[in-house]
Structures are given as C-alpha cells and as structure tokens.
C-alpha cells in the first residue's frame, strides 16, 4: 500500500540543466523545491565528456562536473535533491488543485506546483561497436562535440532535419563529412536537403547503413553496408555522429498532459505552462529543436518563475474569496 508522505509547494522532476536551473530559481523564491533526480542523475550531460559551449566556463568543463556544480548551487539555496523515479502522476485539473506524484512505485508526494524536466534520450543504432565507442568518438550531438573534430574526417547517420542540419554544421568545421541515409531519399525538408546537396565537403550515401564502427579505445573508421547490394566499404574517420532522433521521456504523462505526435510536451506560447494549471515543462522534454544545455537552463528558469507567479495568483484569488465571504 502506498501512503501520502508530505505536501510540498514545488516538485521538480528530473535533474538536467533545466531541472537544476528551475531548482535554483524556485529555492531562491522560497518555494522550497524537492527534486527527484530520475534514473540518470545529472541527465544527458553526464554522458558527455567536455562541455565547451556553456557560457561561464572559459576553459570548458566536464559534463558530470558541471552537473555537480549545478546541484551544489541548487542545494545552497535549500533545494532538496532526492534519488528516485516518479513512476505515476495524478494531476488536478483545477486551478489551485493539488497534484500527486508516486515515487518509485511506493510513496506519494503532493505538490502545489510541478516542474517537469525529464529530458529526452538520444536514439542510438544499438550496435555493440557503437556502444563501446560512445564518448570515444561516437556522439549524438554535433553542436556539442563537432569542434573536437576540427579538420578531421567524420560521418553522420540519419536523413531527417537534425541529421541534415548537423551534417552542414559539421561540414563547416571538419575536412569531410560522409552522411549515411538508409533509404534512397532523405526525410529532411526540401530546404535542408538543398543545403546538404550544396555543401562541397559533404557526401551523401543513400541506401547505406553502419555495419561496424572500427576502433579500440577511439574511433578509427567505419564499415558501411549498402542495404540494396550488400556491398561493404570501409572509410577512415575519427568521429561518428548519430542523428536518428530523440525520444522525449514522457511515458508517465501520457493521458495526463497534451503532447505532440512524437511525445514532446506542449507548452503554451512563450511560457512553460502545460494544459494543466500548476504543471510546467522545461528543457528537452518540450523542445525538439534546440536541445542545448543553455536553452534547457533558460526554460528551467522560466518554469520556476511561472510556478512562482501561479502560486502568487492562487494566493491572491484565495484572499479575495475570503474577503467576499467575510
């Protein structure tokens, strides 16, 4: 049997840059937030090595170290960070209603506001050689890691807008980019395809998939296979970028919150408001376009401010109600 353990003002679900930034702002606004970290404390950045593009770190910083700094900063203002997964939610549809979240299938927390920052997970091909070399030349983020392959030969997998955008981004930095598209056409928009086709040092291989990533500690090459002819070919590369899509971590919110057809939470206008009063979404869970630590952090700040304003409005309307009935 589960039991209600506590009533809090602000529950933060997820511990990436969005969650921690929300926590810093919410705790400084005295919302006494409690954060549940999820299965991967620190989020996607803990799986990368160096972060070079987060403002304020002139020499760059290791992803895990940056997340520890963010945690310390949030805790300094009173955020309570707890290990645990939110496994079920019950959201009130009423303004001022109390939301419930079940932790690790065992205990329930009641919260006046909820900030969801559960992120998204990059999809990988699932090949053993790819998994072995993650962090050793295999990356799912060209904007984060492309710089490390300056003037080198790299490859990218995928035929959607992300792959097309990242391929042209890499072509600006790297010597040569080989783009592997598994069908005989790209899914990316015509405009993006046009950009790809007009980039000189970018070669598109259609009907082509990864057979094996070659390398022991780091990537040395790639064996490609033509899925029509079965013909295999090896090329020398130092970096392999996987751009075959992301999966937002929203399974537990299905049926509770509005999402788009791919599962990303929908927020209203420029705010972080979901369709449920008092429930806000920040970071990659509601952003399939930018997906950067700094943009996630920005929306985390917005979510805490939206939560604070929401609570202030509820308080004001409750006071007005009391005056009317007095």
Catalytic annotation, residues: 141, 144-145
Nearer residue to ligand NDP within complex by CB, 64 or 245: 245
Is the Cβ–Cβ distance between 166 and 241 less than 8 Å? yes
The Cα 98–Cα 306 span in angstroms is: 17
| Under 8 Å between Cβ of 194 and 188 | no
Range in contact with ligand NDP (rule: CB under 6 A) among 102-110, 129-137, 156-164, 277-285: 156-164
Does 104 interact with ligand NDP (rule: CB under 6 A)? no
244 near ligand NDP, rule: CB under 6 A:
yes
- Per-residue binding string, ligand NDP, 166-205, x by CB under 6 A, is ----------------xx---x------------------
Expressed in percent and rounded to 5, the helix, strand and coil fractions of the chain are 30, 30, 40
Question: Strand, helix or coil at 257?
Answer: coil
CB of 183 to ligand NDP, least distance (A): 4
- b/e per residue, 28-40, with b = 16+ CB within 10 A? ebebebbbbbbeb
Q: What angle do CA 159, 156, 123 make, to 5 degrees?
A: 70
Task: Indicate the residue whose CB is closest to ligand NDP.
Answer: 160
Question: Which C-beta is closer to ligand NDP: that of 19 or that of 158?
Answer: 158
Shortest spacing between CB 138 and ligand NDP, in angstroms: 14
Q: How far is the CB of 86 from ligand NDP (least distance, A)?
A: 25
Stretch that binds ligand NDP, among 31-39, 70-78, 127-135, 161-169 (CB under 6 A): 161-169
The separation between the first and the last C-alpha atoms of the chain, rounded to the nearest angstrom, is: 41
d(CA 150, CA 182): 26
Instruction: Establish if 287 lies at the interface with ligand NDP (CB under 6 A).
Output: no
Among 29, 45, 116, 157, binds ligand NDP (CB under 6 A): 157
Q: What phi and psi, each to the nearest 5 degrees, are found at residue 270?
A: -90, 5
Q: 34 vs 204, which CB is nearer to ligand NDP? A: 204
How far apart, in whole angstroms, are the C-alpha atoms of residue 326 and residue 235?
80
171-186 exposure pattern, b = at least 16 Cβ within 10 A, e = fewer: bebbebbbbbbeeeeb
Q: Is 85 in the site for ligand NDP (CB under 6 A)?
A: no
User: Pick from 162, 267, 282, 286: which binds ligand NDP (CB under 6 A)?
Assistant: 162
**How many residues contact ligand NDP, by CB under 6 A?**
17
Q: What is the DSSP code string of 293-317?
A: HHHHHHHHHHHHHHHHHHHHHHHHH
Which of 38-46, 70-78, 154-162, 293-301 is the region at the interface with ligand NDP (rule: CB under 6 A)? 154-162
84 interacts with ligand NDP by CB under 6 A = no
**Is 38 among the residues that bind ligand NDP (CB under 6 A)?**
no
Burial of 322: CB neighbours in 10 Å, binned 0-12, 13-18, 19+ = exposed
Output the smallest distance, CB 186 to ligand NDP, in A. 6
What is the dihedral sign for C-alpha 217, 154, 247, 125? negative
CB of 39 to ligand NDP, least distance (A): 22
Residues lying near ligand NDP in the complex (CB under 6 A): 125, 157-163, 165, 182-183, 187, 209, 244-245, 288-289
């Amino acid at each position: 049997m589960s039991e209600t353990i506590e009533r809090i003002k602000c529950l933060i679900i997820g511990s990436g840059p969005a969650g921690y930034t929300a926590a810093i702002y919410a705790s400084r606004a005295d919302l006494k937030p409690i954060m549940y970290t999820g299965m991967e404390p620190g989020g996607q950045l803990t799986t990368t090595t160096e972060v070079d593009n987060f403002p304020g770190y002139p020499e760059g910083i290791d992803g895990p170290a940056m997340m520890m700094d963010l945690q310390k900063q949030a805790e300094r203002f009173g955020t309570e960070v707890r290990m645990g997964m939110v496994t079920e939610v019950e959201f009130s549809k009423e303004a001022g209603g109390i939301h419930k979240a079940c932790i690790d299938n065992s205990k329930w927390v009641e919260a006046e506001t909820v900030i969801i920052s559960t992120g998204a997970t990059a999809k990988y091909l699932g090949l053993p050689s790819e998994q072995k070399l993650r962090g050793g030349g295999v990356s799912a983020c060209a904007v984060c890691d492309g710089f490390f392959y300056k003037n080198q030969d790299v490859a990218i997998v995928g035929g959607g807008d992300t792959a097309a955008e990242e391929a042209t981004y890499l072509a600006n930095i790297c010597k040569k980019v080989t783009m592997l598209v598994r069908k005989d056409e790209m899914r990316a928009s015509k405009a993006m395809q046009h950009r790809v086709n007009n980039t000189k040092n970018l070669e598109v291989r259609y009907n082509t998939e990864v057979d094996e990533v070659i390398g022991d500690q780091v990537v040395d090459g790639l064996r490609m296979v033509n899925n029509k002819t079965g013909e295999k070919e090896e090329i020398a590369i130092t970096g392999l970028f996987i751009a075959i899509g992301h999966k937002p971590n929203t399974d537990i919110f299905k049926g509770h919150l509005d999402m788009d057809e791919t599962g990303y939470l929908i927020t209203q206008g420029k705010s972080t408001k979901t369709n449920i009063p008092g429930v806000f979404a920040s970071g990659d869970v509601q952003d399939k376009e930018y997906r950067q630590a700094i943009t996630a952090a920005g929306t985390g700040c917005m979510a805490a401010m939206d939560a604070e304003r929401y609570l202030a409005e509820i308080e004001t309307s409750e006071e007005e109600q009391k005056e009317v009935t007095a």
